[in-house]
Chains A and B, each alone.
Chain A
């Protein structure tokens, strides 16, 4: 496929209008997913099926309510349609997908698309839902009034897609530029003319698109800040602000002109093309009565969350064991085929332990992606957000943050990726910031090891074992830290940045298995790629640091002590000893950057326990209990010291995968490193207060 000579067709439409299903129907399996360069928005491109030449490309734009962008996703859709995108040429045709059952609102974007000077074909989608709610639409009349082809479709049942392809191809053969249907007030039209002349005079727009660009520039708040205007920014800004001022003097608000004129035109149109036979309560409206009910709603949400957790922890266990065994088998294979030496050690202790340690979480992560995709595709996430919004809003989080955050209880990686369901950049950032505080499954082995080894197994309140209380406290501490952090940042760094004022409750629909599996597959693949690159590299580095300089005849614990990592551990000891850690704990914590639970195997190596034999896991706990403090001669791993380590794991961002995914999703090293610094700092301070305070009170 030749990238540059291809003709692009853009699929544009409101969120939840069924764009993606139609995109799949138009392109079949010949599509690829990537990110827009420098953005965290997915770009779906495919090749139009049934096209004789095979060089027509179809791009599925992010859902957008209007051409005045209010989120990163909408900015992308806007830039592609305006021809301002760096990597996508201006489309030669737009397929405007509208939800027929929500026609009035969906047509607003269409009125804007008609003013771009690009041929448009309208797909009147979800005709089935429209009929089901008792609404008839006069398609012939609609086509006449819009002046562009209108094809009724039901994307999910493949109805009308052949017709849609045919109309796309015939329109491409004889392209005709649609005329704008909406008349903006004269005062505004005059300002658009004037600005269009300015844009042309400064060679910022071509003659045929200058009017469309001028209207966009007046109606989009910071239009003059777009990089494409960098050279001519100041005079342009002055001209645009002057245009808005004279509009205000004529009694018009610049930000309202388009919407008011647009909806006025649409209202007249609707009276002509829509016929409500009998307004029926749809299935979704009846379901919503219960799913957002005062008592049933939250109870149902709780049930869903519980079900997902049970599935993740119960159903994912067998495949996790298989992966563990697979890596165990690989290790045996390596030991049997490669003679003992550095290469064998690198493969078994470095690559297999490191990559295997993180890959065991793959089944959990895939299942989470699966459930999140179902929740998103069915429309339920908006209801969950509605139920949780007020509570989460107290600390500045959006209701939509609920699903990413509860996902983070299994693993922060899918949690952070799921923040894409939050369309507002500020809300997304705040959610990403607090997600790693949730108690992920990689923390459990650390807590279980320490609590089991040193927390006295006494019974509290008659029936609760003390270690269990400690575990629950660690989970709660994570939640408290997340809430406090959100509240703090909401009032400081992210203060005054607005959230989206309204959220749509989309119609329910049956989750489409193909979309669900596709989303799960794409996101899991991203994770596996990360494991194959960043984590592999990190595992090899950690292996090298603990095995070199190599002392062939030293015992494992002596080898580590004299290795680079041991040296680093002893160098940082002055920093970590105020929180109760010695160099060995320091080394284990550093090595657990690959994955938190690697802490356990590192401790095992240092204490010379063979962890590959599960029966000897208890050995390590016994070792820890018998370890004596060289200064006092008393047990080294006191409950206070164990608590300090656990709290460190609650609060610190000790995970390469999370750091990598945050970097990817924020697209900023600055934010990523700030988060790493903040969490590590917070962990250190909390442990310092605990350790020093505890010792003052004589607990140690």
Chain B
């Protein structure tokens, strides 16, 4: 089923949304992302990419955050609607 497919955040298309399912990061990195609102289950939207593709700009819980490539790749997401 298309909706249950998981991938990493760096594969999310511009303008598309997804839910966070898992974070493969060191405890302190994961903690900081969670404190900034990126808890498991949070809906994120990829707003734009930087001119050199990375960092990516995502929107979550009303704020805009930028993530580097390595971090984006460590966040597993499940695609939701557009």
Q: Is the CB–CB distance between A101 and B62 below 8 Å?
A: yes
Cβ 8 A contact of B35, one of A101, A108, A288, A298:
A108
Q: Is the CB–CB distance between A263 and B39 below 8 Å?
A: yes
Q: Is the CB–CB distance between B34 and A256 below 8 Å?
A: yes
Whether B33 is near chain A, meaning CB under 8 Å from some CB there, is yes
Q: Is the CB–CB distance between A297 and B66 below 8 Å?
A: no
How far, in Å, is B3 (CB) from chain A's closest CB?
A: 21
Whether A1 is near chain B, meaning CB under 8 Å from some CB there, is no
List the B side residues contacting A390 at CB < 8 Å: 50, 52-55, 69
CA distance A505 to B54 in the complex (A): 14
Cβ 8 A contact of A498, one of B29, B37, B51, B62:
B29
Residue of A nearest to B29 (CB): A501
CA distance A498 to B27 in the complex (A): 11
- Which of A64-72, A224-232, A476-484 lies at the binding interface? A64-72
CA distance A297 to B38 in the complex (A): 27
List the A side residues contacting B69 at CB < 8 Å: 390
Cβ 8 A contact of B34, one of A101, A259, A298:
A259
List the A side residues contacting B67 at CB < 8 Å: 501-502
Type the 1/0 row for B29-58, where 1 means its CB is closer than 8 Å to any CB of A: 111111111111010000010111111010
List the B side residues contacting A382 at CB < 8 Å: 66
Q: Is the CB–CB distance between A102 and B63 below 8 Å?
A: yes
CA distance A165 to B18 in the complex (A): 43
Type the 1/0 row for A100-134, where 1 means its CB is closer than 8 Å to any CB of B: 01111100100000000000000000000000000
CA distance A453 to B35 in the complex (A): 60
Type the 1/0 row for A353-394, where 1 means its CB is closer than 8 Å to any CB of B: 000000000000000000000000000001000110111010
How far, in Å, is B6 (CB) from chain A's closest CB?
A: 19
Knowing A389-B50, A504-B36, the reply to whether A256 touches B63 (Cβ < 8 A) is: no
Whether A500 is near chain B, meaning CB under 8 Å from some CB there, is yes
Type the 1/0 row for A48-80, where 1 means its CB is closer than 8 Å to any CB of B: 000000000000000001101010000000000
Q: Is the CB–CB distance between B68 and A386 below 8 Å?
A: no
CA distance A103 to B63 in the complex (A): 9
List the A side residues contacting B12 at CB < 8 Å: none
How far, in Å, is A454 (CB) from chain B's closest CB?
A: 42
Knowing A105-B62, A289-B48, A501-B67, the reply to whether A221 touches B37 (Cβ < 8 A) is: no
Q: Is the CB–CB distance between A502 and B66 below 8 Å?
A: yes
CA distance A612 to B51 in the complex (A): 51
Cβ 8 A contact of B32, one of A65, A254, A260:
A65
CA distance A501 to B29 in the complex (A): 6
Cβ 8 A contact of A104, one of B26, B35, B62:
B62
Enumerate A385-418 residues with CB–CB distance to B below 8 Å.
Answer: 386-387, 389-391, 393, 399
Name the residue in B33, B51, B53, B55 with the highest tally of chain A Cβ atoms < 10 Å from its Cβ: B51
Knowing A68-B31, A505-B64, the reply to whether A288 touches B48 (Cβ < 8 A) is: yes
Chain B residues touching A, range: 35 or more
Whether A255 is near chain B, meaning CB under 8 Å from some CB there, is yes
Q: Is the CB–CB distance between A389 and B68 below 8 Å?
A: yes
CA distance A391 to B69 in the complex (A): 12
Cβ 8 A contact of B39, one of A68, A259, A399, A505:
A259
Enumerate A482-508 residues with CB–CB distance to B below 8 Å.
Answer: 498, 500-505
Knowing A65-B32, A263-B42, A389-B68, the reply to whether A108 touches B51 (Cβ < 8 A) is: no
How far, in Å, is A142 (CB) from chain B's closest CB?
A: 15
Q: Is the CB–CB distance between A501 and B55 below 8 Å?
A: no
Whether B21 is near chain A, meaning CB under 8 Å from some CB there, is no
Whether A158 is near chain B, meaning CB under 8 Å from some CB there, is no
Type the 1/0 row for B11-31, where 1 means its CB is closer than 8 Å to any CB of A: 000000000000001111111
CA distance A244 to B68 in the complex (A): 29
Residue of A nearest to B66 (CB): A503
List the B side residues contacting A259 at CB < 8 Å: 31, 34-35, 39
CA distance A104 to B42 in the complex (A): 12
Knowing A221-B28, A502-B32, the reply to whether A256 touches B62 (Cβ < 8 A) is: no
Q: Is the CB–CB distance between B37 and A389 below 8 Å?
A: no
How far, in Å, is B40 (CB) from chain A's closest CB?
A: 7
Name the residue in B26, B32, B38 with the highest tally of chain A Cβ atoms < 10 Å from its Cβ: B32
Q: Is the CB–CB distance between A505 and B32 below 8 Å?
A: no
Q: Is the CB–CB distance between B38 and A502 below 8 Å?
A: yes
Knowing A256-B39, A288-B48, A289-B48, the reply to whether A386 touches B55 (Cβ < 8 A) is: yes
List the A side residues contacting B25 at CB < 8 Å: 501
Knowing A253-B27, A255-B28, A505-B64, the reply to whether A105 touches B36 (Cβ < 8 A) is: yes
Instruction: Identify 13 new A-B residue pairs, CB closer than 8 A, beyond the known A101-B62, A108-B37.
Output: A66-B35, A68-B35, A256-B31, A256-B40, A260-B34, A263-B42, A292-B50, A386-B50, A389-B66, A389-B68, A393-B68, A503-B65, A505-B64
Q: What are 22 of the A-B contact pairs (CB < 8 Å)?
A: A65-B35, A68-B31, A103-B62, A221-B27, A253-B27, A253-B30, A258-B35, A263-B34, A263-B39, A289-B48, A292-B51, A298-B51, A390-B50, A390-B53, A390-B54, A390-B55, A501-B32, A501-B33, A501-B68, A502-B33, A504-B64, A504-B65
7 tightest Cβ-Cβ pairs between the two chains A and B: A259-B34, A505-B64, A66-B35, A255-B31, A390-B52, A104-B61, A255-B27
